């Protein structure tokens, strides 16, 4: 089979980690007889530098015409002082919206080999944890009305959190169905003791729970959830939450797996075409030094094979290769604790050898 993949390398370490994932995909293609055709497009700061806007029309068209999209990361100090509407990050929100990717799957599991990297007490993570965060991705405060105005105390800025029943229903459906395929426990996280949008969220989730009697569905307030994640992460199976809460909680969840450099993500809509990216950022401080951990991006490519192309065996082959490399003790600097570490290319070579 032939698959057309749009590559959005982006900024900072983006190009290095995407190139690692491309090498792994090419090798998997050889092994299983698939052809992956890669077409690069500009996004973020790289696009700003080349054409003055963070998300060129051509990039959007290219992504919509592809079978799937692999993205590195966007942003960096060079563009940090630009107005909000042309910041590199705006391109990320823009491409998610243009592709109608309302679901963001962010798995956070503790690798056996990385147990020692988890900052939590060992008795807390004795039995590991395996959480799937289902983050709503195209609604809420990141997309709501915002602006500046004169208020009671003079100049003020505002952003609005707004969720429609339809948006809650479609993300809750994904979450319930994901839970059904896993351990059948869904935690819906909101702030219903304060926010009207959370009260609608909770009401809709409860209504939908009736269609999934086999899934245990519990509500949790977001502040409590932030605490429970470090108190007892194993209590979670699938989490469903809003765009902003999911953004914050997924960073927290990633840190307790040992390194944010390990966590992949899949952004999906109603078609098979998805956007796959590591959950970490562009790490401008280590860009171009060959120090970046490419594993999150390589695992994002594995998620692409599974979710967009239905290539379960090929996907597992990548996941297993990463496991083997970690179990053999190979590390990048972020998970080496000052010990021996491999460069981005070297760890990629190891993963390829183990496919």
The residue number whose beta carbon is nearest to ligand IPM equals 89
In the complex, the smallest distance separating the C-beta of residue 251 from Mg ion, rounded to whole angstroms, is 6
Among 67, 117, 247, 334, binds ligand IPM (CB under 6 A): 247
Q: Which of 19, 190, 247, 277: binder of Mg ion (CB under 5 A)?
A: 247
Residue 286: CB minimum distance to ligand IPM, A: 17
| Catalytic residue flag (residue 191) | yes
Q: How far is the CB of 279 from ligand IPM (least distance, A)?
A: 6
Q: Which is nearer to Mg ion, 246 or 274 (CB)?
A: 246
**Which residues touch 260 (CB under 8 Å, ≥6 apart)?**
251, 254, 279, 280, 296
Active-site annotation holds for 247: yes
Q: Which does 314 bind (CB under 5 to 8 A by kind): Mg ion, ligand IPM, none?
A: none
Partner whose footprint covers residue 64, from ligand IPM, Mg ion, none (CB < 5 to 8 Å by kind): none
Catalytic residue status for 142: yes
334 binds, among ligand IPM, Mg ion, none (CB under 5 to 8 A by kind): none
Q: Which residues pair with 146 in a beta bridge?
A: 159
β-strand partners of 104:
135, 267
How many Cα neighbours within 13 Å face the side chain of 72?
34
**229 within 8 A of 260, measured Cβ to Cβ:** no
> Which positions from 77 through 136 interact with ligand IPM, judged by CB under 6 A?
89, 92-93
Verify binding: residue 11, ligand IPM, rule CB under 6 A. Answer: no
Choosing from 3, 41, 111, 142, which is the catalytic residue?
A: 142
The distance of closest approach from Cβ of residue 265 to ligand IPM in the complex, given in angstroms and rounded to an integer, is 7
Active site positions, annotated: 142, 191, 223, 247, 251
Contact residues toward ligand IPM (CB under 6 A) are 89, 92-93, 247, 279
């Amino acid at each position: 089979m032939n698959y057309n993949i749009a590559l959005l390398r982006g900024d900072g370490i983006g190009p290095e980690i995407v190139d690692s994932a491309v090498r792994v995909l090419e090798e998997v293609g050889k092994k299983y007889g698939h052809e992956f055709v890669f077409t690069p497009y500009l996004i973020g700061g790289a696009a700003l530098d080349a054409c003055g806007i963070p998300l060129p029309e051509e990039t959007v068209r290219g992504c919509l015409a592809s079978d799937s999209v692999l993205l590195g990361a966007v942003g960096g100090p060079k563009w940090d002082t630009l107005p909000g509407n042309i910041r590199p990050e705006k391109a990320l929100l823009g491409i998610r919206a243009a592709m109608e990717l309302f679901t963001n799957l962010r798995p956070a599991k503790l690798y056996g080999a990385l147990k020692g990297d988890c900052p939590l007490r060992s008795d807390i993570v004795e039995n590991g944890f395996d959480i799937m965060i289902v983050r709503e991705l195209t609604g809420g405060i990141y997309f709501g009305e915002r602006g500046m105005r004169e208020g009671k105390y003079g100049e003020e800025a505002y952003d609005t959190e707004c969720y429609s029943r339809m948006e809650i229903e479609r993300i809750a459906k994904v979450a319930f169905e994901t839970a059904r395929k896993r351990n059948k426990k869904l935690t819906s996280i909101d702030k219903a003791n304060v926010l009207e949008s959370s009260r609608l969220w909770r009401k809709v989730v409860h209504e939908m729970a009736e269609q999934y009697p086999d899934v245990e569905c519990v509500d949790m307030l977001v502040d409590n959830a932030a605490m429970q994640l470090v108190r007892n992460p194993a209590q979670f199976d699938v989490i469903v939450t809003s765009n902003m809460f999911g953004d914050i909680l997924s960073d927290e969840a990633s840190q307790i797996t040992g390194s944010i450099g390990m966590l992949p993500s899949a952004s999906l809509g109603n078609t098979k075409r998805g956007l796959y990216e590591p959950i970490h950022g562009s790490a401008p401080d280590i860009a171009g030094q060959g120090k970046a951990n490419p594993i999150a991006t390589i695992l994002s490519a594995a998620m692409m094979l599974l979710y967009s192309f239905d290539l379960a065996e090929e996907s597992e082959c990548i996941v297993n290769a990463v496991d083997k490399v970690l179990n053999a003790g190979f590390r990048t600097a972020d998970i080496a604790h000052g010990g021996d570490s491999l460069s981005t290319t070297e760890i990629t070579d190891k993963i390829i050898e183990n496919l």
